[in-house]
Amino acid sequence: MWFTGSYCSIASMNLTILVEDPSNPDNKTLRFYEKGEIIPVHCDNMFCPPPQRVDCYKDPHKVCGQFPGTECWIQQFERTGPWGRSPMRFLDDILPGATMSPPIAKHCFELTQYLLEGNADDVNAMKVRQTVNDMCGVMDPTQISGVNIFGHADEFEQSQLPRLDAFYAAIKGQCVQPRQRGQSCIANRFAGDKNLVYRDDGTPFERPMFCATGLQCLDHMCVESPEDVALFHGEQGGVANEEMFCGTLHGLTFACAQDLVCTSADNFLEPSTCVRKRSKSIAYLGPWWNSTNCPTMNGFTNAQLVLDGLKVLMLTYPGELQSASHCEEYWYNPLVKGNHEVLYNYVAALVQNLDSGVLHEDLNVTGEFIVPSFEMLWANLANETLEPDGTCVDNESSKVAAKKLELKKFAFQPCYIWSVVHFLTFNQKETMTKAATEASFGIAVWLRRYFSCEDCRSFFDGLVQEPTVGMPNVSDLNREHHAYWWHHAHNMASEHFASVRGGDPWVAQLWNEDFKQYQNPFMMTWKDAEDQWASHKRASSAPTDVPSFAKSAFSLEPLLFVFALLSAHVASMFHQA
C-alpha cells in the first residue's frame, strides 16, 4: 500500500474527476482514470471509492444470490440512535444527550418555519424561540433531515451528514465466501437458520470463518468428516499454506509452510490459522495514517523513544473530544492536565523499575537522560500553542498555527505508543514492583478509554474483554507476563489495522480477493519481539523461550511460538502505529 503514503488510492471503477495542479491549486483539469489505476485521491481505504458492501440482512438469498458462492454473515451489537444521543447545549458546551425523536423533530421544524415567516409578535416570538432552544437543542431545525450528531460544535450548523440511526443498525450483514476444506474455522454454524450465518451457540462469528455447506468445523478445521482429517493430511504432506488449519488434530501435525506462523487455538479472531509472519523493525503505510516514522524505522535512541513516547501517550487524551492544537480548550483545561498527570505517573513508575543496566548503560549512556518533571513537561507542551507574546489565540489570526498543527499530528502516532510500552515492559527488572504492574494495567485501561481513534479504541476494548486476552494481571510481578501481554494484545489489535487490511475491517476483510495482494502481515513471534525490544544492556538480554503461560504455534521448520505480539516500537513517544 505504498501509494497511500502519498495520499493516493486505486480506482475501484472507471472515474472522471477534476485534478488539482500541485503548483496551482486553483487550476483543475478534468482527467479520466480506468479501474485499477492509481489516482491522486485520498480515501479511508486503499480503493477509492471504497468497494460497496450491500447489507444482506433484509433478504439474504436475494442479495447474496448476486454474488455466487457467498452467504450472509452478520455482525450484531447494541443499537445506537438519536434518542438520548442528539446534541444539546449544556453549560458552555455541546454534548450528546438530547432525546430527539421524529415527532419532536417535526415540531422543531414547524416552529422554525413559523419564526422564519415573521408573522409572530414579539411576545409569541420569544416564547417560540425559548421552546426551540429548550426542546430542539443545538440543531438547526430547518436541516432536520441532515443532522450531524457527532463531531465538534462548529460543525453542527454546516453539516449535511445523515442521522446516526440511518447507518448504525443493530444488525448488519455482508455476503462473504465461506471457508473451504482444510482451511481454519471458528466454530460450527447454527443449522436451523437457512438465511443468516451465525454460530451454533447463537452468537455471531467474530470473523467470517465458517465452513462451506457440506463441511464441518472440527477443532477449527473445515473437513467433510473426522476421517477426512487423515486424508487431507496425506494430500498436503502435513504442510499448511496461508489461511489453512495448523496445529495437531487426531494425532496428526499440520505445520505452516515457510514464512508463515500459526495462531493459537484460543485466538478468538483466527484460531489455529497459518498467517504470514511480520518481520521485526518494520512499519507499514496505510490509508488511515503513515507508520513509517516509527522510532525503530528511523534509528532513534531508546532514550529519545521513551521521552517522545511519553509525550504522544499523554496527547492521546481525550480522543475525539478535544485537540492538543487548541490552546484555550485543551491546555487551559484542568481536567486535561489532571489526566495527563495520571498517564505521566504510569510511565514514570515503569521507568523507575527498569533494569539497572538498561537505565544507566542504555538510556543514560551519555549522562544526559532526564525525564522532566510533569509540571515542566506540561508547560513545555502548552507553550507550543502560545503566541510569541505569550497569549492564547485560537482563530485564523494565530501566528503559531503551523506549530499547533504539528502538535496535533504528533499526538496521533500510535506506533510510538506501542513502541514505548513494549520497550518499557520488555526491559523491566525480572521482578516488578506493584507500582509498575499497576502502571502496565493502567495504560491498558487508558487506551480503552482515551485512544484517539474511536474505531480502534472500541476494538481494543472488546479485545481485552475476551477471556483469552483479558487485562495485565496487577498481582503478577513477573516481567515476562507483562511483556507478553502487550506483545499478544498488539498482535491481536494489529489484525484489524487499516495498514494491515487496507481500510475499515468491515469493508476490507482479511484475505478478501480484492485486498489480499496488498494486505500486510500482522503476527510477530515472541522471539522476534524480544529480540527487537529487549535492550542489549538488560540482564539476561538473550532471547528466552516463550513464557510458560504463552500459547505455542507451529511453523514448518523448528516449532515457532506465535501467539500474539503487541507489535513493535516501544521507544520514545507514540509516533505512529
Q: Tell me the pLDDT tens digit for each residue of 461-481.
A: 989 999 889 999 999 999 999
Q: What is the pTM of this model?
A: 0.85
Query: Any idea what DSSP says for residue 454?
Result: H
Q: Tell me the pLDDT tens digit for each residue of 357-409.
A: 999 999 998 888 889 999 999 999 999 999 999 999 988 899 999 988 888 88
- In whole angstroms, what is the distance from residue 569 CA to residue 577 CA? 8
Q: Which amino acid is at 498?
A: A
Q: Which three cell numbers stand for residue 269?
A: 479472531
Q: Tell me the pLDDT tens digit for each residue of 149-177.
A: 333 334 334 333 445 556 667 889 999 99
Q: How confident is the model at residue 576 (pLDDT cuts 50, 70, 90)?
A: very low
Burial of 160 (0-12, 13-18, 19+ CB in 10 A): exposed
| Of 172, 161, 136, nearest in space to 57 by CA | 172
Q: Tell me the pLDDT tens digit for each residue of 20-68.
A: 888 887 887 888 899 999 988 888 899 988 988 999 999 999 999 999 9
- In whole angstroms, what is the distance from residue 558 CA to residue 475 CA? 34
Q: Give residue limits of the domains in the chain.
A: 1-50, 86-166, 180-254, 295-533
Distances (CA, A) of 318 to 165, 575, 577: 25, 17, 18
- Judged by DSSP in three states, 6 sits in helix
Instruction: Find out whether 500 and 270 touch, Cβ atoms under 8 Å.
Output: no
Q: Tell me the angle at which helices 479-494 and 454-464 cross, rounded to the nearest 10 degrees.
A: 130
- In whole angstroms, what is the distance from residue 151 CA to residue 137 CA? 15
Q: Tell me the pLDDT tens digit for each residue of 4-15.
A: 877 889 999 888
Instruction: Find out whether 518 and 498 touch, Cβ atoms under 8 Å.
Output: no
- Say which residue the cell 495482494 belongs to: 517
In 332-453, where does DSSP find H-type helix?
A: 334-352, 356-357, 374-383, 401-411, 414-426, 434-450
Q: pLDDT at position 454, please? A: 79
